[in-house]
Amino acid sequence: MVDEGGQVFKDFLSTHAVLGDRVRLAILATLAAADEPMDFNTVRETLDLTKGNLSSHIRKLEDAKLVKVHKEFVERKPRTTYTCTARGRKELGHYLRNLEDLLRGATK
């Protein structure tokens, strides 16, 4: 049964567009679950992504202010780490609630 006016569908479609991609969603969920910043290689290996794929998706998440990127040198070697921002956690929670509502309605 569809809710009056399709509000559940409208709410789901109001989800941040950047999270519509499964790779970006996986990156954000991985970072949100991490207790500390994750470095580039750890994220890449955890999700089995190529360097280019991870870089392009991280850039979109950073532009949307869902992920914070920190670059530094450690023993003269560059080190890039990522953290999920407060906005990223909020948007991820919004996405999950709306998806849950959408699926709950579809399985009735």
Query: For residue 93, what are the contacts with CB-CB under 8 A and spacing of at least 6?
Result: none
Q: pLDDT tens, 22-32?
A: 999 999 999 99
Which residues pair with residue 78 across a beta bridge? Answer: 73
40-88 residue pLDDT tens: 999 999 999 999 999 999 999 999 999 999 999 989 999 999 999 999 9
Instruction: Establish if 58 belongs to a structural domain.
Output: yes
Q: Has residue 108 been placed in a domain?
A: no
Whether 97 maps to a domain, the answer reads: yes
How many domains in the chain?
1
Nearest to 18 by CA among 8, 26, 10, 9: 26
Domain annotation covers residue 67? yes
Question: Is residue 16 domain-resident?
Answer: yes
CATH number of the domain to which 33 belongs: 1.10.10.10
- The DSSP code for 16 is -
pLDDT band at 1 (very low <50, low <70, confident <90, very high): very low
d(CA 1, CA 50): 42
- Mean pLDDT, rounded, of the chain: 89
Would the pLDDT of 16 be above 50? yes
pTM: 0.85
Q: Domain residues for 50? A: 4-103
